[in-house]
Amino acid sequence: MIRDPKDRDDIEAGLEVKIVLKQDQRTNKLTHGFVKDILTNSKTHPHGIKVRLKDGQVGRIKEIL
């Protein structure tokens, strides 16, 4: 099954992901980590679901590993 980083139903705590942090949006630099909390309330988001990683960093998911 292919998981969609723009669909909230495909995201769960503990998932290994790459996110783009707010300050990295212009460069699209990705940050690796594991999902702690899902912050987007809507079912989908065109730029990726916003999450908090276990290390506290917040960003939008670009890749699910």
State residue 59's pLDDT score.
97
Q: How many Å apart are CA 65 and CA 1, to the nearest integer?
A: 12
Q: How many Å apart are CA 10 and CA 19, to the nearest integer?
A: 15
The ranges assigned to domains in the chain are 8-64
Q: Which residue has the tokens 């939008």?
A: 60
State the pTM of this model. 0.93
Q: How many Å apart are CA 49 and CA 52, to the nearest integer?
A: 10
- Return the closest-CA partner of residue 19 out of 62, 54, 52: 62
**Tell me: the pLDDT tens digits for 12-25?**
999 999 999 999 99
Q: What is the pLDDT along the chain (65 residues), one digit of tens a residue?
A: 789 999 999 999 999 999 999 999 999 999 999 999 999 999 999 999 999 999 999 999 999 99
Residues in the chain: 65
CATH architecture, domain 8-64: Roll (2.30)
